[in-house]
Chain A
């Protein structure tokens, strides 16, 4: 075999292996598990205040972060895919912190105070701050 054929074959092999590893990573990288992360501890009201005061700053501080949120339950419902959702109260009657659970936390009573940990995905003005992929930490 000529030398250059060997080099080309080697290059092909390297590309194939790299490609294989990339594809393997895409299909095997586990989803983020917030229950093993230390969350930023704050109340529902504090999180609302931060976004209401300055959305851009709050985004840099809280977007994609694990948030350990303590607050009073306004209501609990089920979303269109069967996941449990809890809205936390703020001092604005039209505004809540909307939290979706990864696993069902069981029944949570309105007005009870609970601690929830999840990933903050951002702020929707006049509606809510969203946290998802969450777990119940305490207060139940």
Chain B
């Protein structure tokens, strides 16, 4: 059995090396959002798990209860009344950078990228396309983007507060 396991491990290592894919990750990336017409409605999440491969795969996962608002009462409404975050605790995005070849991970700089993929929020999965920037600084990449999330696209009824939010992604990879 031990031999089988070590052979399997060897096979795994060889196949990983042959693919030679480098994956950058963070457990503490940052995503925030603001309601465009009411800047008091703003929240930040500092526990975003994100992975970025130099082949262009990119993913983000966060927990809705991790969004911190300036006002505690808003945080309660957000979780209980609008996002039902006991029922849907997590939001996930999985996609890829369509022009990954323009990004040089070995050279410092800001690279414009287009990302397409699926965003799952409030139990609804929708394809989205977002333009962003991959910045490389001293060998460490980071992902930055801004985009609009329309509440009704994800069956979120927050009409008394806002119909859409501006989401801002800022994840520095390790």
Could you tell me which A residues sit within 8 Å of B by CB distance? 25-27, 29-32, 59-60, 63-64, 77, 79-81, 83, 85, 87, 96, 98, 100, 119, 121-124, 127-128, 130, 132-133
Contact = CB atoms under 8 A, between A and B. Distances in A.
Interface string B131-174: 00000000000000000000000000000000000000010100
A83 B74 contact: no
Contact of A83 (B46, B73, B89, B170): B46
Interface stretch (B60-68, B101-109, B117-125): B60-68
Contact of A122 (B29, B71, B90): B90
Interface size class of B (residues with CB under 8 A): 20 to 34
A31 B61 contact: no
Interface of B: 27-30, 44, 46-47, 49, 61-66, 68, 71-76, 86, 89-90, 170, 172
A80 B46 contact: yes
Contacts of A27: 71, 73
10 contacts: A26-B73, A27-B71, A63-B89, A79-B28, A80-B30, A80-B172, A81-B44, A121-B65, A122-B89, A130-B47
